[in-house]
A and B are shown apart, each in its own frame.
Chain A
Amino acid sequence: MSSLVINDLSCQRGYNQLFSNLSFQVNVGEVLHITGTNGSGKTSLLKILAGVSAREHGEISWNQHSVKSEEYRQEVFYLGHQAALSGELSSLENLEFLSALNKSTDQQQLIQALGDIGLKGYKDEYCANLSAGQKRRVILAGLFVSKAKIWLLDEPFTALDPTGVKIVESRIEKHCNNGGLCLFTTHQDSALANQRVLAL
């Protein structure tokens, strides 16, 4: 069975040791909720797992593939704090580029995904004219059509209304039932069943 194995990971930012000797394993089908106070290193952990930040020391492997390997990067979708959208482009154009950066998806699926997340009729709207929650929904639509197995979601519920939160939670559950895994951070209570909690 595929699993993401983290062994003896340490991270330092400035003069602060955020975490050290962190070891855990997430199997396919599992949801890991990373909790911790502000500045405890939740975002740093996800960035290290996404390959954006360098680690101080430690091992990360996915089926014996390292973070830098193409096999690993193909399987990862990282959702950061920022929206990853250009205001000058429409939601659909942004989504097309985003999905091409991962593994491309055809246009019909993208339009369908925008509709599913409650943005029907907004596909040609410039992202500069969308609200914070709507921008979040655009990139979440990109997440839902991606074929990546490992979802790394940094505060996915920010700016979303309760219906939006429910949609995201149900999609995370569906993803895990279909052979994916998900690591996410949030300060809100999440109603996800079968989630494990990692406190930093």
Chain B
Amino acid sequence: MNIYLQTLKRDLRVALRNPSSVLNPLLFFIISVSLFPLAISPEAAVLSQIAAGIIWVASMLAVLLSLNALFHHDFENGILEQMITSHHSLPLLILSKIFAHWLLTGIPIILLSPLLGLFLFLDDEGIKILMITLLLATPSLSLIGSIGASLVVGIKNSGMLLSLLILPLYIPILIFASSAVSQAQFGLTIDGQLYFLAMFLVLSLISAPFVSAIALKISLE
């Protein structure tokens, strides 16, 4: 079997045998979203207006929470060293790992979002757009996150540093994605926002694996 598929399979298998690492960020996502109606107001009119923003912020933080695990274990047990010394392409090996990360965090977040949208009285159109923006942008979150995760891989307690490095890069995604949903609720066109998110995805797809590979090599020296 192809080494890149094998890397993907290995990461999925490790995650499924140690499910808490996958479930923790998802539980955080659900819990944090469901606390907002209790704290702000249970009224449909209020909640439906801020629903997209809440879900987007929570999913961003959930992804951030899961990023530490992306390279940490492989760094500790020496598998990253083996990946670097191997003759296979390191950026592509990293891309397989990022894809596995997206399958384990991005996809569950997309699948959970309609349910959480209903909690917050988001209408059908809003939920549809929310899912489209999540589908377009969660891969970017994993890709950009991998750059940060590879930069801090050797550092202990790097959670704060990782957020400082990554969150500024997430901000444009947050702005365009949540504005797409709220504009759709008013019946306005949202092509611009979707094109921007797609552009961001392409840009991070072609750059993040290479930047992460360089950063990992620096971290391991």
Contact check, A93 vs B85: say whether CB atoms are below 8 A apart.
no
Instruction: A53 to B88: give the CA distance in the assembly, Å.
Output: 17
Which residue of chain A is the closest to B7 with respect to CB atoms?
A97
Complex Cα distance, B73 from A86, in Å, reads 8
Asked if B79 and A76 sit within 8 Å, CB to CB, the answer is no
**Residue A33 at the chain B interface, CB threshold 8 Å:** no
> Would you call A97 and B10 a contact (CB within 8 A)?
yes
Q: Mark A88-103, 1 if CB is under 8 A from B, else 0.
A: 1100010011101110
Residues of chain A contacted by B84 (CB below 8 angstroms): 51-52
Main SS at interface, chain B: helix
Task: Decide if A52 touches B81 in the complex (CB within 8 Å).
Answer: yes
Chain A interface bracket (under 10, 10 to 19, 20 to 34, 35 or more): 20 to 34
B 1-29 to A, binary, CB cutoff 8 A, 1 in contact else 0: 10100110010011001100000000000
Total B residues in contact with A, Cβ cutoff 8 Å: 24
Partner of A83, one of B7, B18, B77, B83: B77
Q: How far is the CA of A52 from the CA of B82 in the complex (A)?
A: 9
For the complex, give the distance between the alpha carbons of A53 and B85 in Å: 10
Partner of B78, one of A53, A80, A100: A80
6 A-B pairs with CB atoms under 8 Å apart are A88-B18, A89-B14, A93-B10, A97-B7, A100-B1, A100-B6
Q: Hey, which bits of chain B sit against chain A, CB under 8 A?
A: 1, 3, 6-7, 10, 13-14, 17-18, 73, 76-79, 81-88, 220-221
A-B contacts besides A82-B76, A100-B6, 17 pairs, CB < 8 Å = A50-B85, A52-B81, A52-B84, A52-B85, A78-B85, A80-B81, A81-B78, A84-B77, A84-B79, A85-B77, A85-B79, A86-B73, A87-B77, A89-B14, A97-B10, A101-B82, A101-B86
